[in-house]
Amino acid sequence: MAIVGTGGEPAFHKTVYARCPEFVGHPWRGSLCNTGKHPVTESVLFVVGAYCWRSYRRQRPAPLVQKHVASRPASLTARSVSNVIYSESIQIGGRPASVWSPSGEGQDIRPLEAYSYKFSYMKLARSILGVAFGTGQAIVGLPVGPDVLFSEQPPTSSSLRGIVLAHGLLCSRFDLAHMAEAFAKRGFTVVAPEFDDSVSHDSGVVPGGFVGELLVRSDTEARRCTVVEQAVDWLKQRGAKAVGLVGHSRGGVTVSQVPGQYCRVNIAGFQPPQVDPIETFEGVSNAEGAELLVICGEDDEICTRPPLSLDYIQETTSKLLPKAETWYPAGVGHFDVLDPRVVGQWRDLLGPLGAFAPAPPTQEFSTSCVERVVSFLDNRLVASSDGS
Protein backbone atom coordinates (compact mmCIF):
# COMPACT_ATOMS: atom_id res chain seq x y z
CA MET A 1 0.00 0.00 0.00
CA ALA A 2 1.12 3.55 -0.60
CA ILE A 3 0.10 6.96 0.65
CA VAL A 4 0.35 9.70 -1.94
CA GLY A 5 0.83 13.31 -0.87
CA THR A 6 -1.58 15.95 -2.10
CA GLY A 7 -1.30 19.63 -2.92
CA GLY A 8 2.09 21.20 -3.55
CA GLU A 9 4.05 18.93 -1.23
CA PRO A 10 6.09 16.10 -2.71
CA ALA A 11 4.44 12.71 -2.67
CA PHE A 12 5.62 10.50 0.16
CA HIS A 13 5.13 6.78 -0.42
CA LYS A 14 6.00 4.54 2.44
CA THR A 15 5.07 1.03 3.42
CA VAL A 16 6.64 -1.06 6.15
CA TYR A 17 6.45 -4.74 5.38
CA ALA A 18 7.03 -6.50 8.66
CA ARG A 19 9.13 -9.57 8.00
CA CYS A 20 8.51 -10.69 11.54
CA PRO A 21 7.88 -14.12 13.04
CA GLU A 22 4.64 -14.89 14.80
CA PHE A 23 4.35 -12.81 17.95
CA VAL A 24 6.65 -14.13 20.64
CA GLY A 25 7.29 -10.91 22.53
CA HIS A 26 10.82 -10.10 21.40
CA PRO A 27 11.90 -6.98 19.43
CA TRP A 28 10.19 -6.62 16.07
CA ARG A 29 12.03 -5.36 13.06
CA GLY A 30 10.28 -4.38 9.85
CA SER A 31 11.62 -3.63 6.41
CA LEU A 32 11.15 0.00 5.43
CA CYS A 33 10.49 0.63 1.77
CA ASN A 34 10.51 4.20 0.47
CA THR A 35 9.80 5.19 -3.10
CA GLY A 36 10.04 8.80 -2.04
CA LYS A 37 12.52 10.71 0.10
CA HIS A 38 12.20 10.37 3.89
CA PRO A 39 12.48 13.95 5.25
CA VAL A 40 14.59 14.21 8.38
CA THR A 41 12.14 16.78 9.78
CA GLU A 42 9.52 14.10 10.07
CA SER A 43 11.75 12.14 12.41
CA VAL A 44 12.61 15.23 14.46
CA LEU A 45 8.93 15.63 15.35
CA PHE A 46 8.96 12.78 17.82
CA VAL A 47 12.05 14.14 19.50
CA VAL A 48 10.42 17.54 19.88
CA GLY A 49 7.73 15.71 21.85
CA ALA A 50 10.32 14.60 24.36
CA TYR A 51 7.64 13.84 26.87
CA CYS A 52 7.55 10.38 25.30
CA TRP A 53 11.06 9.00 25.31
CA ARG A 54 13.34 10.92 27.63
CA SER A 55 15.22 8.18 29.40
CA TYR A 56 14.00 4.75 28.45
CA ARG A 57 15.65 1.64 29.81
CA ARG A 58 15.18 -1.91 28.77
CA GLN A 59 13.14 -3.52 31.51
CA ARG A 60 13.99 -6.49 33.65
CA PRO A 61 11.35 -9.20 33.83
CA ALA A 62 9.08 -8.68 36.83
CA PRO A 63 7.56 -11.50 38.82
CA LEU A 64 3.90 -12.26 38.31
CA VAL A 65 1.98 -12.44 41.56
CA GLN A 66 -1.36 -14.19 41.54
CA LYS A 67 -4.16 -13.21 43.91
CA HIS A 68 -6.96 -15.60 44.86
CA VAL A 69 -10.41 -14.29 43.97
CA ALA A 70 -13.83 -15.86 44.40
CA SER A 71 -15.27 -17.69 41.41
CA ARG A 72 -17.61 -15.97 38.96
CA PRO A 73 -21.27 -16.92 38.56
CA ALA A 74 -21.64 -19.85 36.18
CA SER A 75 -23.42 -17.68 33.59
CA LEU A 76 -20.28 -15.62 33.14
CA THR A 77 -17.72 -18.38 33.29
CA ALA A 78 -15.07 -17.86 30.61
CA ARG A 79 -14.77 -20.27 27.74
CA SER A 80 -11.40 -20.74 26.14
CA VAL A 81 -11.34 -20.53 22.35
CA SER A 82 -8.64 -21.38 19.86
CA ASN A 83 -9.30 -18.62 17.32
CA VAL A 84 -10.01 -14.90 17.48
CA ILE A 85 -12.18 -13.02 14.98
CA TYR A 86 -11.04 -9.50 14.14
CA SER A 87 -13.18 -6.81 12.51
CA GLU A 88 -12.77 -3.09 11.93
CA SER A 89 -15.97 -2.21 10.07
CA ILE A 90 -17.69 -0.33 12.91
CA GLN A 91 -17.36 3.29 14.00
CA ILE A 92 -17.39 4.57 17.56
CA GLY A 93 -17.42 8.31 18.10
CA GLY A 94 -17.31 8.89 14.36
CA ARG A 95 -14.01 7.02 13.87
CA PRO A 96 -13.05 3.41 13.07
CA ALA A 97 -12.90 0.96 15.94
CA SER A 98 -11.38 -2.50 16.20
CA VAL A 99 -13.36 -5.47 17.49
CA TRP A 100 -11.92 -8.77 18.66
CA SER A 101 -14.37 -11.55 19.47
CA PRO A 102 -14.32 -15.28 20.24
CA SER A 103 -14.57 -17.53 17.22
CA GLY A 104 -18.06 -18.68 16.29
CA GLU A 105 -19.81 -20.77 13.73
CA GLY A 106 -21.38 -19.35 10.61
CA GLN A 107 -19.10 -16.32 10.37
CA ASP A 108 -17.73 -15.28 7.00
CA ILE A 109 -14.06 -15.28 7.92
CA ARG A 110 -10.71 -15.51 6.19
CA PRO A 111 -7.05 -15.54 7.27
CA LEU A 112 -5.55 -12.23 8.38
CA GLU A 113 -1.90 -11.54 7.66
CA ALA A 114 -1.51 -8.24 9.51
CA TYR A 115 -3.25 -5.36 11.23
CA SER A 116 -3.05 -2.11 9.27
CA TYR A 117 -1.36 0.38 11.63
CA LYS A 118 -1.35 4.00 10.42
CA PHE A 119 1.16 6.56 11.63
CA SER A 120 0.60 10.24 10.74
CA TYR A 121 3.65 12.50 10.70
CA MET A 122 1.48 15.53 10.03
CA LYS A 123 -0.66 14.75 13.09
CA LEU A 124 2.45 14.59 15.27
CA ALA A 125 3.70 17.94 14.03
CA ARG A 126 0.40 19.73 14.44
CA SER A 127 -0.22 18.19 17.87
CA ILE A 128 3.25 18.93 19.23
CA LEU A 129 4.28 22.15 17.51
CA GLY A 130 0.96 23.54 16.39
CA VAL A 131 2.11 23.79 12.76
CA ALA A 132 1.82 21.42 9.82
CA PHE A 133 5.00 19.62 8.84
CA GLY A 134 5.36 16.25 7.18
CA THR A 135 3.78 14.71 4.14
CA GLY A 136 1.16 12.28 5.35
CA GLN A 137 0.96 8.77 6.76
CA ALA A 138 2.95 5.60 6.93
CA ILE A 139 1.06 2.31 6.90
CA VAL A 140 2.62 -0.53 8.83
CA GLY A 141 1.67 -4.19 8.75
CA LEU A 142 1.59 -5.62 12.27
CA PRO A 143 1.82 -9.41 11.85
CA VAL A 144 -0.70 -11.69 13.49
CA GLY A 145 -0.64 -15.38 14.22
CA PRO A 146 -2.73 -18.00 12.41
CA ASP A 147 -5.21 -17.99 15.29
CA VAL A 148 -6.41 -14.45 14.38
CA LEU A 149 -8.94 -14.45 11.55
CA PHE A 150 -10.67 -11.56 9.77
CA SER A 151 -14.34 -10.84 9.19
CA GLU A 152 -15.72 -8.08 6.97
CA GLN A 153 -18.71 -7.80 9.28
CA PRO A 154 -18.66 -7.12 13.02
CA PRO A 155 -20.26 -9.64 15.35
CA THR A 156 -24.03 -9.29 15.57
CA SER A 157 -23.94 -10.33 19.21
CA SER A 158 -21.47 -9.89 22.04
CA SER A 159 -20.34 -12.43 24.57
CA LEU A 160 -21.70 -11.88 28.08
CA ARG A 161 -18.50 -10.10 29.07
CA GLY A 162 -16.95 -7.24 27.14
CA ILE A 163 -13.86 -5.05 27.33
CA VAL A 164 -13.20 -1.49 26.12
CA LEU A 165 -9.56 -0.54 25.50
CA ALA A 166 -8.52 3.15 25.64
CA HIS A 167 -5.21 4.20 24.04
CA GLY A 168 -3.02 7.12 25.11
CA LEU A 169 -2.27 10.53 23.62
CA LEU A 170 -0.84 10.27 20.08
CA CYS A 171 -1.12 6.50 20.20
CA SER A 172 -3.48 4.06 18.45
CA ARG A 173 -6.16 1.43 18.90
CA PHE A 174 -3.55 -1.29 18.24
CA ASP A 175 -1.39 -0.38 21.24
CA LEU A 176 -3.09 -3.05 23.37
CA ALA A 177 -3.87 -5.52 20.59
CA HIS A 178 -1.90 -8.26 22.38
CA MET A 179 -4.27 -7.88 25.35
CA ALA A 180 -7.32 -7.79 23.07
CA GLU A 181 -6.34 -11.13 21.54
CA ALA A 182 -5.83 -12.67 24.97
CA PHE A 183 -9.18 -11.37 26.22
CA ALA A 184 -10.98 -12.76 23.16
CA LYS A 185 -9.43 -16.18 23.79
CA ARG A 186 -10.95 -16.04 27.29
CA GLY A 187 -14.38 -15.47 25.76
CA PHE A 188 -14.59 -11.66 25.91
CA THR A 189 -15.71 -9.35 23.10
CA VAL A 190 -13.27 -6.44 22.92
CA VAL A 191 -13.74 -2.98 21.41
CA ALA A 192 -10.85 -0.53 20.88
CA PRO A 193 -12.01 2.88 19.62
CA GLU A 194 -9.80 5.46 17.92
CA PHE A 195 -9.83 8.75 19.82
CA ASP A 196 -9.53 12.24 18.35
CA ASP A 197 -5.90 12.47 19.52
CA SER A 198 -4.83 9.20 17.84
CA VAL A 199 -1.67 9.26 15.73
CA SER A 200 -3.42 7.13 13.11
CA HIS A 201 -5.34 9.94 11.41
CA ASP A 202 -4.71 13.57 10.46
CA SER A 203 -7.80 15.17 11.98
CA GLY A 204 -8.87 16.03 15.52
CA VAL A 205 -5.93 18.35 16.25
CA VAL A 206 -6.41 21.13 18.80
CA PRO A 207 -4.92 24.43 17.50
CA GLY A 208 -1.75 25.50 19.29
CA GLY A 209 0.00 22.16 19.77
CA PHE A 210 0.57 20.94 23.32
CA VAL A 211 -0.21 24.40 24.73
CA GLY A 212 -3.55 24.44 22.97
CA GLU A 213 -4.25 20.92 24.16
CA LEU A 214 -3.67 21.94 27.78
CA LEU A 215 -6.09 24.85 27.44
CA VAL A 216 -8.95 22.56 26.41
CA ARG A 217 -7.93 19.54 28.48
CA SER A 218 -11.26 19.26 30.30
CA ASP A 219 -13.23 19.30 27.06
CA THR A 220 -11.06 16.69 25.35
CA GLU A 221 -11.15 14.41 28.39
CA ALA A 222 -14.95 14.66 28.49
CA ARG A 223 -15.03 13.76 24.78
CA ARG A 224 -12.83 10.72 25.46
CA CYS A 225 -15.17 9.54 28.22
CA THR A 226 -18.11 9.90 25.84
CA VAL A 227 -16.39 7.69 23.26
CA VAL A 228 -15.73 5.00 25.90
CA GLU A 229 -19.38 5.13 26.97
CA GLN A 230 -20.45 4.73 23.33
CA ALA A 231 -18.22 1.65 23.06
CA VAL A 232 -19.79 0.24 26.24
CA ASP A 233 -23.25 0.88 24.78
CA TRP A 234 -22.28 -0.93 21.57
CA LEU A 235 -21.35 -4.01 23.60
CA LYS A 236 -24.43 -3.90 25.82
CA GLN A 237 -26.78 -3.49 22.87
CA ARG A 238 -25.41 -6.79 21.58
CA GLY A 239 -25.82 -8.71 24.79
CA ALA A 240 -22.86 -7.91 27.06
CA LYS A 241 -23.89 -8.03 30.71
CA ALA A 242 -20.58 -7.00 32.26
CA VAL A 243 -18.02 -4.62 30.73
CA GLY A 244 -14.51 -3.86 31.96
CA LEU A 245 -12.31 -0.89 31.04
CA VAL A 246 -8.56 -0.91 30.33
CA GLY A 247 -6.56 2.21 29.50
CA HIS A 248 -2.92 3.19 29.05
CA SER A 249 -1.44 6.64 29.77
CA ARG A 250 -4.09 9.22 28.89
CA GLY A 251 -6.36 6.26 28.27
CA GLY A 252 -5.77 5.22 31.88
CA VAL A 253 -7.01 8.63 32.97
CA THR A 254 -10.02 8.23 30.68
CA VAL A 255 -11.15 4.88 32.05
CA SER A 256 -10.67 6.21 35.60
CA GLN A 257 -12.96 9.16 34.88
CA VAL A 258 -15.85 7.32 33.21
CA PRO A 259 -18.79 7.18 35.65
CA GLY A 260 -20.28 3.82 36.55
CA GLN A 261 -19.66 0.59 38.46
CA TYR A 262 -16.95 -0.66 36.13
CA CYS A 263 -14.06 -2.94 36.93
CA ARG A 264 -11.02 -1.09 35.54
CA VAL A 265 -7.32 -1.32 34.82
CA ASN A 266 -5.36 1.95 34.83
CA ILE A 267 -1.93 1.51 33.26
CA ALA A 268 0.33 4.55 33.83
CA GLY A 269 -2.63 6.90 33.79
CA PHE A 270 -1.64 9.78 36.07
CA GLN A 271 -1.60 13.56 35.70
CA PRO A 272 0.87 16.13 37.11
CA PRO A 273 0.47 17.19 40.77
CA GLN A 274 -1.02 20.48 39.60
CA VAL A 275 -4.14 18.49 38.65
CA ASP A 276 -6.21 17.32 41.60
CA PRO A 277 -5.92 13.51 41.62
CA ILE A 278 -9.57 13.32 42.63
CA GLU A 279 -10.30 14.65 39.13
CA THR A 280 -8.18 11.91 37.57
CA PHE A 281 -10.00 9.15 39.45
CA GLU A 282 -13.42 10.79 39.54
CA GLY A 283 -15.23 7.81 38.05
CA VAL A 284 -13.64 5.35 40.46
CA SER A 285 -14.13 7.55 43.52
CA ASN A 286 -17.85 7.92 42.78
CA ALA A 287 -18.33 4.21 42.16
CA GLU A 288 -18.35 2.67 45.61
CA GLY A 289 -17.05 -0.88 45.57
CA ALA A 290 -15.71 -0.70 42.00
CA GLU A 291 -12.50 -2.72 41.62
CA LEU A 292 -9.36 -1.23 40.14
CA LEU A 293 -5.90 -2.44 39.16
CA VAL A 294 -3.21 0.25 38.93
CA ILE A 295 0.00 -0.54 37.03
CA CYS A 296 2.99 1.77 36.79
CA GLY A 297 6.58 0.75 36.05
CA GLU A 298 9.25 2.02 38.41
CA ASP A 299 11.16 3.43 35.42
CA ASP A 300 8.15 4.98 33.68
CA GLU A 301 9.48 7.92 31.61
CA ILE A 302 6.30 9.93 32.13
CA CYS A 303 4.82 8.99 35.48
CA THR A 304 7.99 8.66 37.58
CA ARG A 305 9.87 11.69 36.21
CA PRO A 306 9.40 15.36 37.22
CA PRO A 307 6.92 16.84 37.84
CA LEU A 308 5.66 13.37 38.80
CA SER A 309 7.53 10.73 40.79
CA LEU A 310 7.07 7.13 41.83
CA ASP A 311 6.57 8.28 45.43
CA TYR A 312 3.77 10.60 44.30
CA ILE A 313 2.12 7.81 42.30
CA GLN A 314 2.26 5.36 45.18
CA GLU A 315 1.15 7.90 47.78
CA THR A 316 -1.76 9.09 45.64
CA THR A 317 -2.93 5.54 45.01
CA SER A 318 -2.68 4.43 48.64
CA LYS A 319 -4.52 7.49 49.99
CA LEU A 320 -7.15 7.97 47.31
CA LEU A 321 -7.65 4.34 46.25
CA PRO A 322 -6.75 2.23 49.30
CA LYS A 323 -8.64 -0.82 48.00
CA ALA A 324 -7.04 -0.81 44.58
CA GLU A 325 -4.69 -3.61 43.61
CA THR A 326 -1.32 -2.20 42.57
CA TRP A 327 1.67 -3.42 40.59
CA TYR A 328 4.88 -1.40 40.27
CA PRO A 329 7.22 -3.67 38.25
CA ALA A 330 10.91 -2.82 38.52
CA GLY A 331 12.80 -1.67 35.43
CA VAL A 332 9.63 -1.13 33.38
CA GLY A 333 9.05 2.00 31.30
CA HIS A 334 5.98 3.80 30.01
CA PHE A 335 5.82 1.93 26.68
CA ASP A 336 6.88 -1.52 27.89
CA VAL A 337 3.25 -2.48 28.50
CA LEU A 338 2.26 -1.87 24.87
CA ASP A 339 2.07 -4.46 22.12
CA PRO A 340 5.67 -5.26 21.04
CA ARG A 341 4.51 -5.32 17.42
CA VAL A 342 3.68 -1.62 17.67
CA VAL A 343 6.70 -0.48 19.68
CA GLY A 344 9.01 -2.50 17.48
CA GLN A 345 8.08 -0.43 14.41
CA TRP A 346 8.84 3.00 15.86
CA ARG A 347 12.57 2.84 15.16
CA ASP A 348 11.95 2.35 11.45
CA LEU A 349 9.22 4.98 11.40
CA LEU A 350 11.54 7.55 12.97
CA GLY A 351 14.25 6.97 10.40
CA PRO A 352 17.59 8.63 11.32
CA LEU A 353 16.43 9.32 14.86
CA GLY A 354 15.06 5.85 15.49
CA ALA A 355 17.73 5.33 18.14
CA PHE A 356 15.65 7.54 20.43
CA ALA A 357 12.75 5.10 20.31
CA PRO A 358 12.28 2.61 23.16
CA ALA A 359 13.03 -1.04 22.62
CA PRO A 360 10.10 -3.47 22.70
CA PRO A 361 9.57 -5.37 25.95
CA THR A 362 10.98 -8.81 26.54
CA GLN A 363 8.84 -11.87 25.91
CA GLU A 364 8.73 -12.71 29.61
CA PHE A 365 7.52 -9.30 30.74
CA SER A 366 5.04 -8.83 27.91
CA THR A 367 3.50 -12.23 28.64
CA SER A 368 3.31 -11.58 32.38
CA CYS A 369 1.78 -8.13 31.87
CA VAL A 370 -0.93 -9.44 29.56
CA GLU A 371 -1.68 -12.30 31.93
CA ARG A 372 -1.84 -9.91 34.89
CA VAL A 373 -4.37 -7.62 33.22
CA VAL A 374 -6.49 -10.35 31.64
CA SER A 375 -6.61 -12.46 34.81
CA PHE A 376 -7.60 -9.45 36.93
CA LEU A 377 -10.72 -8.82 34.85
CA ASP A 378 -11.38 -12.48 34.09
CA ASN A 379 -11.60 -13.21 37.81
CA ARG A 380 -13.56 -10.13 38.84
CA LEU A 381 -15.81 -9.09 36.01
CA VAL A 382 -19.37 -10.05 36.94
CA ALA A 383 -22.79 -8.60 36.24
CA SER A 384 -23.76 -5.81 38.65
CA SER A 385 -27.05 -4.06 39.23
CA ASP A 386 -26.55 -1.66 36.32
CA GLY A 387 -25.00 -4.26 34.02
CA SER A 388 -21.47 -2.88 34.29
> What is the residue type of 4?
V
130 pLDDT more than 90: no
Q: Which of 4, 30, 42, 119 lies closest to 352 in space, CA to CA?
A: 42
The 3-state DSSP class for residue 277 equals helix
> What is the residue type of 318?
S
pLDDT confidence band for 91 (50 / 70 / 90): very high
Q: Which of 100-114, 198-212, 308-322 has the lowest mean pLDDT?
A: 198-212
pLDDT confidence band for 111 (50 / 70 / 90): very high
Domain 63-69+78-111+148-380, CATH among 3.40.50.1820, 3.40.190.10, 2.60.40.1170, 1.20.58.100 = 3.40.50.1820
Q: Which of 356, 338, 334 lies closest to 347 in space, CA to CA?
A: 356
Cα separation, 159 vs 150, whole angstroms: 18
> What is the residue type of 169?
L
Q: Which of 113-117, 175-179, 219-223, 377-381 has the lowest mean pLDDT?
A: 219-223
Average pLDDT over residues 132-152: 86
Please enumerate in sequence order all residues whose Cβ is within 8 A of that of 8, keeping only pairs 6 or more positions apart, or say none.
Answer: none
pLDDT confidence band for 213 (50 / 70 / 90): low
- Portion of the chain with pLDDT greater than 90, in percent: 57
**Count of CB atoms within 10 A of residue 323's CB?**
9
311 pLDDT more than 90: yes
pLDDT confidence band for 287 (50 / 70 / 90): confident
Average pLDDT over residues 374-385: 81
Q: Which residues pair with 266 in a beta bridge?
A: 247, 294
Provide the residue ranges of all domains of the chain, joining segments of one domain with +: 63-69+78-111+148-380
What's the pLDDT at 298?
A: 97
Q: Which residues pair with 193 in a beta bridge?
A: 97
What's the pLDDT at 4?
A: 29
Burial class (CB in 10 A: 0-12, 13-18, 19+), 216: middle
pLDDT in tens, 22-46: 333 333 334 333 333 333 333 333 3
**CA angle centred on 322, ends 316 and 325, rounded to 5°:** 95
pLDDT confidence band for 385 (50 / 70 / 90): very low
What's the pLDDT at 105?
A: 52
Query: Which comes out higher in pLDDT, residue 263 or 10?
Result: 263
What's the pLDDT at 57?
A: 36
Sign of the Cα pseudo-torsion (347, 353, 358, 362, in order): positive
Q: Which of 267, 7, 289 lies closest to 122 in space, CA to CA?
A: 7
316 pLDDT more than 50: yes
